[in-house]
Amino acid sequence: MRKLTFIAFLCTLLLVSCNQEEQLDTSSTTNKSGILFKLQKDGYEGSTSRISGKETSPYDELHYFIVDENGEKVKNIKSYYEASTSTIYTEGLHKGNYRLLVLGIQGDATKDKATVHTPERIQDEWLAFPEDLQKPLEAEYFYSQTPFSVIEVQTADGIQETASITDEITQKRIVSRVDFDFTYHNPYVRNAVTDKSLSFGDVRFYTTLSGSGELSGESNGTLDPISLNEQTSYLFMPLCGNAHLNGEITISTRNYRKEERRQVYGFEHQSLSSNHIHHIESVVTHPDDKDIVMFITPAAYNAGGHKAILQDDETKEVYTNPSLRKFNTSQPLQVSVTEEGKLHARFYSPRNLSNVLIKMQLPQVSNEYFDLAYFDSIPAFCDFYEEIPLIERSVMCRTESGKVIEISKKTAAELSNAVLKIESDDPFWAKLQDIKHGWNIYWGLYGGDPEREDGGPVGNWMGIRPVHCRESVALFLNFTYMIDMPEHEQILRDNADQLYDDNKQPVKVEAVLQQMRMAKTLQVGLVYPGNGVIGLGGGSTFGCYQQGWFEHYFNTYSCSIMFHELGHVMGYGHNSSFTYGPWAEKLMNNFYVNNIQDMPINSKNYLNSAQNPHRYK
């Protein structure tokens, strides 16, 4: 115990009265002493150790009173609580032994229908909950009982009253926290859970707290079912007497074949102690525990922390390196098995793709494909890496003929000759599959510098940025889809007389289609318009200025620039219909804009590049 005299602090304390939550008359008189009680909250305790430290954050509500050695409430004293410092100040106590009783509330007690009474003696009821509350508590309730004494000391100025108290008052929760934990043998089962709910048996909790800290009262034994989907920790009053916390946890899951399962796990916990965290663990044993299928739900994808390609923070050294960033428009979804035995899926698309099944065929196992991975959704520009379960353990697989076979654990080297294929019922996938004649696309700076505000122009080029690279993915997916559209072929046949070369000689429709469908590799760049040039193309070079990349969906002028440069790529000059003639400026540009709704990337809103903060201003 520490001896403290507080007369000198009285005037200082009065300066903070504007922040007081509860204040009585604190006018100063001679030979009056004040007592400070500093409050702090104790952390929860686990079964063996303290889990969290002490804290001094203010309460949402604080109630307190002082009793004498007979347990009677002391009256006619002056006292207030300073919330910002978690301090109780009192004066006017005379020689004697006392106890300070404090009830702190963190949270909204009205949601618990809690009633705080005004006790007159220590054994009176102080805090009460309804017997039929039927739900966990939402606020935390803290209690402390601190003995102290006031003694008289003779000083030069006369008799002074001095308090003997503990250095700090530590308050403990009267409530108990219960954490419902789950252990899964297969992480893909964990992320395929659609619902977790909790129902209780006959469980009875204490409902009242007296000033002395004694618990009494009893709930009616009924608790409503609660969800464990978003929240798995709940607060309860301690259990009455020999009562047990018991009930059932129901877990519902789905798998990639759209099958749903419902499992029920019973539980019983012997006791709930105040200020403790209790763990109730359910070990989930599931029929899909040995399944090989990597069921990538949105939750599973987010848990993997997978990155995306061609994002605004990607460095120029990465997105302009064709060994790292290059794709063929007929195969925008690239899937492979890495040297480490991981499934890698990279998607060159501004749109998500839904319901994607990836199948594997291992020659040393079977000549049949078996289901390997299923994605609820593959995000735009995804870059997914995840270890194949077959690397870790033996697995059960479903083959295309419907057989279920077991495959023993494999090394990464044994998966090196695996063959993969992709299936999806997404209409977007059907459009991508209709791209029969793909072009290879990668990106180049052509001397420009995208890290400079002006793009570091060199000649007619400036530094292309990821925002432009993404738009080029959209353009070339649409273009290579368009060249096999029956409507496109028909418009060429209907206007065959407007197709001519640089010598004004007619070019047959079949020759135009063959040139458009011929495999090509383009290094795509961004044109600097400051020299009056807004597009460049020819051979393996293709570029357009920023506006063209952003407006090709709806602006026929921007589209005519794109097709003008594609005409150069096809080998035509400025005297042909494929550049400054009707193919580029009338037929193709109008067809593209007028049929954008039928293209794979049918809206500018997937990328919304014109609003991107990383565009050139």
Q: What's the first-to-final CA gap in the chain, in angstroms?
A: 70
Residue 161 main-chain phi, psi, to 5 deg:
-95, 125
Contact present, 364 and 407 (Cβ < 8 Å): no
Q: How far apart are CA 89 and CA 10, in angstroms?
A: 9
Domains 2-173 and 177-284 share a fold: yes
Residue 240 token pair: 């009455």
Q: Which letter does DSSP use for residue 601 in this model?
A: S
pTM: 0.83
Closest residue by Cα to residue 393 from 292, 293, 304, 286: 292
| Digit-coded pLDDT (tens) for 527-563 | 999 999 999 999 999 999 999 999 999 999 999 999 9
Strands (E), 332-458: 333-337, 342-347, 353-361, 370-378, 382-387, 395-398, 404-407, 419-424, 440-443
Domain 2-173: top CATH class: mainly beta
Contact present, 261 and 287 (Cβ < 8 Å): yes
| Digit-coded pLDDT (tens) for 247-296 | 999 999 999 999 999 999 999 988 899 999 999 999 999 999 999 999 99
| Mean per-residue pLDDT of the chain | 92
CATH of 177-284, one of 2.60.40, 3.30.70, 2.40.50, 2.60.120: 2.60.40
Domains in the chain: boundaries: 2-173, 177-284, 294-426, 440-611
The β-bridge relationship of strands 294-296 and 535-538 is: unpaired
Q: Which letter does DSSP use for residue 584 in this model?
A: I
The answer on pLDDT for 12 being more than 90 is: no
Point out the least confidently predicted range of 150-154, 200-204, 262-266, 496-500.
150-154
User: Which distant-in-sequence residues (6+ apart) come within 8 Å of 178 by Cβ?
Assistant: 233, 234, 235, 236, 245, 269, 272, 277, 278, 279, 280
Residue 254 main-chain phi, psi, to 5 deg:
-130, 160
| Digit-coded pLDDT (tens) for 461-520 | 999 999 999 999 999 999 999 999 999 999 999 999 999 999 999 999 999 999 999 999
The answer on pLDDT for 395 being more than 80 is: yes
Q: How far apart are CA 58 and CA 488, in angstroms?
A: 71
Q: How far apart are CA 316 and CA 617, in angstroms?
A: 19
Q: How far apart are CA 363 and CA 370, in angstroms?
A: 12
Residue 236 token pair: 């309860």
Reported as type and span, the H/E element at residue 124 is none
pLDDT at 491 (0 to 100):
97
